[in-house]
Structure 1
């Protein structure tokens, strides 16, 4: 299950972001995951829940934007949704495309932080 190693990497990224912002509390980590990334989102959510225990992300949420697959159609000369991940064809003219423009990414796009209360 490579989702556990992905979850741990996400935690490392968010924890480092927290450290560089005066150990602010991590509220959420925002991801963009393409349908062709090879990541099983439910498995990642479960792995994240387990891996975040006893870390600065213990109460953080994982916010995932599930991205459809888009291809650049050689016939239409524009970006279109692919019919499916099994058929990388233009959804309008059905021409096969080898150029994926979206749908294979796994990106941490934001780490939402909450500053710790100032001690006096």
Structure 2
């Protein structure tokens, strides 16, 4: 389960960032997780419960925002919704679509005290 190592990194980054800004505790973490990122939000939530204890993020809540898949069709010249990686353009059916969102995993923001 790669979500465990991902969440360990998120907690490490959150704690380090909080300390750098003089905070004593991380209160909440908001993540953006793309629907095409191959990251399971429920597994992230489970791993969050396992890895946060014993850190300054020990009582932090976790909110996960799902980011839809989107791409730029080189043939149509417009932004289109993507339901899968390397999927065809829903308008013209061609596969010359560059993914522009939906594969991200990033910390949106932290609340610290």
Question: Are 2:65 and 1:69 equivalent residues in the alignment?
Answer: no
Structure 2, unaligned stretches of length 5 or more? none
Question: Are 2:42 and 1:48 equivalent residues in the alignment?
Answer: no
Question: 1:97–1:65: structure 2 CA closer, same or farther, 3 Å change rule?
Answer: farther
**Alignment check: 8 A CA contact 2:36 2:85 kept:** no
Higher Cα radius of gyration: 1
Following TM superposition, by how much is the alpha carbon of 1:3 offset from its aligned partner in structure 2, in angstroms? 0.6
In 1, Cα distance between equivalents of 2:28 and 2:67: 19
**Alignment check: 8 A CA contact 2:35 2:102 kept:** yes
Question: Are 2:101 and 1:99 equivalent residues in the alignment?
Answer: no
In 2, Cα distance between equivalents of 1:32 and 1:89: 24
Question: When the two structures are aligned, how many residues end up with a matched partner?
Answer: 113
TM-score by length of 2: 0.89
- Describe the SS at the equivalent of 1:55: coil
**Alignment check: 8 A CA contact 1:35 1:66 kept:** yes
